[in-house]
A and B are shown apart, each in its own frame.
Chain A
Amino acid sequence: MSRFSNLGHRLYQGEVSFDFVGRRKLWYSISGVIVLVAAIGLAMGLHLGIEFKGGSVYTVQKPGLSVAQVQTAANDVTHGSSALVQSTDKGKIRVQISSEETQSPDSIRNGLSKALDIPVQEIDSQVIGPSWGHQISQKALLGLVIFMVLVTIYLAIAFEWRMAAAALVALIHDLLITIGVYALVGFEVTPGTVIGFLTILGYSLYDTVVVFDTVKENTKGLTKQSKLTYSEAANAGLNQTLVRSINTTVVALLPVAALLFIGGGLLGAGTLNDISLALFIGLAAGAYSSICVATPLLAQLKEEQPEMKALAKRVAQRRASEAKAKAEAEANGEAVPEGEEFADEDLPAGMVGQRAQGAGRSRNKGRPSTKR
Chain B
Amino acid sequence: MATPKSRPRDGYPGRALALILVVTVGLVALMFGTGNTKPRLGIDLAGGTSITLTAKSDDPKAINKSNMNIAVGIIQKRVNGMGVSEAEVQTEGDKNIVVNIPKGGDRQSAADQVGTTAKLFFRPVLAYAPSGVKATAPTASPSATTSGSPAAAPTPSPTATAGSTAAAASPSASKAGRAVGEALLADPTASASAPAASPSASAAAASPSAAATAPTEAEMTAALTQGTVPAELQAQFAAMDCSDPAQRKDYQSTDITKTTVACSSDPEQGYYDKFALGPVQVNGSDVSKAQAVIDTQNAAGWQVQLQFNDKGSKAFATTTGALSTQASPANQFAIVLDGGVVSHPQVNETISGGSAVISGSFTQSDAQQLANVLSFGALPLSFAQSDVVTVSPQLGGDQLKAGLIAGLIGMVLVIIYSLIYYRGLGLVSIGGLLVSAALTYSIMSLLGAGIGFALNLPAVCGAIVAIGITADSFIVYFERIRDEVREGAPLRPAVQRAWPRARRTILVSDFVSFLCAAVLYLVSVGKVQGFAFTLGLTTALDVVVIFLFTKPLITLLARKKFFSDGHPWSGLDPKRLGARPPIRGTRRRTSAPSATKEA
Q: Bound state CA distance, A205 and B539, in angstroms?
A: 14
Q: Mark B514-544, 1 if CB is under 8 A from A, else 0.
A: 0111011011111110011001000000000
Select B531's contact among A13, A199, A206, A365, beta carbons within 8 Å.
A199
Q: Are A263 and B487 in contact (CB under 8 A)?
A: no
If the complex has contacts A124-B395, A262-B409, are A158 and B508 also in contact, measured as CB distance less than 8 A? Answer: yes
Interface check A5, CB cutoff 8 A: yes
Shortest CB-to-CB span from B568 to chain A, Å, is: 10
CB nearest to A240 among chain B residues: B483
CB nearest to B487 among chain A residues: A363
Select B523's contact among A142, A267, A363, beta carbons within 8 Å.
A142
Q: Are B458 and A127 in contact (CB under 8 A)?
A: no
Select A135's contact among B402, B420, B486, B525, beta carbons within 8 Å.
B525
Q: Are A2 and B512 in contact (CB under 8 A)?
A: no
Q: Mark A116-132, 1 if CB is under 8 A from B, else 0.
A: 00000111111111011
In the complex, chain B residues 210-229 whose Cβ is within 8 Å of any chain A Cβ: none
Shortest CB-to-CB span from A197 to chain B, Å, is: 10
Select A217's contact among B405, B458, B501, B525, beta carbons within 8 Å.
B501
Q: Are A154 and B524 in contact (CB under 8 A)?
A: no
Q: Are B406 and A132 in contact (CB under 8 A)?
A: no
The stretch among B319-327, B355-363, B474-482 that forms the contact with chain A is B474-482
Q: Are B519 and A150 in contact (CB under 8 A)?
A: yes
Shortest CB-to-CB span from A198 to chain B, Å, is: 6
Q: Mark A253-272, 1 if CB is under 8 A from B, else 0.
A: 11111110011101100111
Q: Mark B485-523, 1 if CB is under 8 A from A, else 0.
A: 011000000000000010011001101110111011011
CB nearest to A207 among chain B residues: B509
The stretch among A30-38, A99-107, A316-324, A328-336 that forms the contact with chain B is A99-107
Chain B residues positioned under 8 Å from A128 (CB to CB): 386-388
Shortest CB-to-CB span from A310 to chain B, Å, is: 29
Q: Are B525 and A6 in contact (CB under 8 A)?
A: no
Q: Bound state CA distance, A259 and B410, in angstroms?
A: 7
Q: Are B392 and A122 in contact (CB under 8 A)?
A: yes
Chain B residues positioned under 8 Å from A359 (CB to CB): 586-587, 590
If the complex has contacts A136-B525, A158-B508, A362-B587, are A250 and B417 also in contact, measured as CB distance less than 8 A? Answer: yes
In the complex, chain B residues 392-422 whose Cβ is within 8 Å of any chain A Cβ: 392, 394-395, 398-399, 401-403, 405-407, 409-411, 413-414, 417-418, 420-421
The stretch among A76-84, A172-180, A187-195, A340-348 that forms the contact with chain B is A187-195
The stretch among A18-26, A64-72, A241-249 that forms the contact with chain B is A241-249
Q: Are A126 and B479 in contact (CB under 8 A)?
A: no
> Max chain B CB contacts within 10 Å: which of A136, A199, A365?
A199
Shortest CB-to-CB span from A59 to chain B, Å, is: 7
Q: Are A266 and B402 in contact (CB under 8 A)?
A: yes
Q: Are B413 and A258 in contact (CB under 8 A)?
A: yes
Interface check A202, CB cutoff 8 A: yes
The stretch among B307-315, B335-343, B464-472 that forms the contact with chain A is B464-472
Q: Are B420 and A10 in contact (CB under 8 A)?
A: no
Select A202's contact among B108, B461, B476, B512, beta carbons within 8 Å.
B512
Select A126's contact among B387, B464, B482, B531, beta carbons within 8 Å.
B387
Q: Are A121 and B527 in contact (CB under 8 A)?
A: no
Q: Bound state CA distance, A195 and B402, in angstroms?
A: 19
Q: Mark A197-215, 1 if CB is under 8 A from B, else 0.
A: 0110111011001100110
Q: Are A198 and B516 in contact (CB under 8 A)?
A: yes
CB nearest to A139 among chain B residues: B524
Shortest CB-to-CB span from A38 to chain B, Å, is: 22
Chain B residues positioned under 8 Å from A44 (CB to CB): none
If the complex has contacts A106-B108, A126-B390, A154-B511, are A252 and B472 also in contact, measured as CB distance less than 8 A? Answer: yes
Select A192's contact among B458, B464, B517, beta carbons within 8 Å.
B458
Chain A residues positioned under 8 Å from B486 (CB to CB): 9, 12-13
Interface check A169, CB cutoff 8 A: no
Q: Bound state CA distance, A223 and B122, in angstroms?
A: 82
Q: Bound state CA distance, A199 and B524, in angstroms?
A: 13
CB nearest to B470 among chain A residues: A251
Q: Bound state CA distance, A247 and B425, in angstroms?
A: 14
Select B461's contact among A61, A150, A213, A272, beta carbons within 8 Å.
A272
5 closest pairs, A vs B, by CB? A255-B410, A9-B578, A252-B468, A263-B406, A202-B516
Given contacts A209-B509, A266-B405, A271-B399, 19 further A-B contacts (CB under 8 A): A104-B246, A107-B246, A123-B392, A124-B390, A132-B387, A135-B525, A139-B93, A142-B523, A198-B532, A243-B479, A248-B472, A255-B468, A256-B465, A258-B409, A258-B464, A259-B464, A271-B461, A272-B457, A359-B587
Chain B residues proximal to chain A, CB less than 8 Å: 44, 52, 54, 93, 96, 107-108, 111, 245-246, 384-392, 394-395, 398-399, 401-403, 405-407, 409-411, 413-414, 417-418, 420-421, 457-458, 460-462, 464-465, 467-469, 471-472, 475-476, 479, 482-483, 486-487, 501, 504-505, 508-509, 511-513, 515-517, 519-520, 522-528, 531-532, 535, 576-579, 586-588, 590-591, 594-595
Q: What are 12 pairs between A and B in contact, CB < 8 Å?
A: A122-B392, A135-B96, A214-B505, A251-B475, A259-B464, A266-B398, A271-B457, A272-B457, A279-B465, A360-B590, A363-B591, A365-B487
Chain A residues proximal to chain B, CB less than 8 Å: 1-2, 4-6, 8-10, 12-13, 51, 59, 61, 90, 92, 104-107, 121-129, 131-132, 135-136, 139-140, 142-143, 146-147, 150-151, 154, 158, 191-192, 194-195, 198-199, 201-203, 205-206, 209-210, 213-214, 217, 240-241, 243-244, 247-248, 250-259, 262-264, 266-267, 270-272, 275-276, 279, 359-363, 365
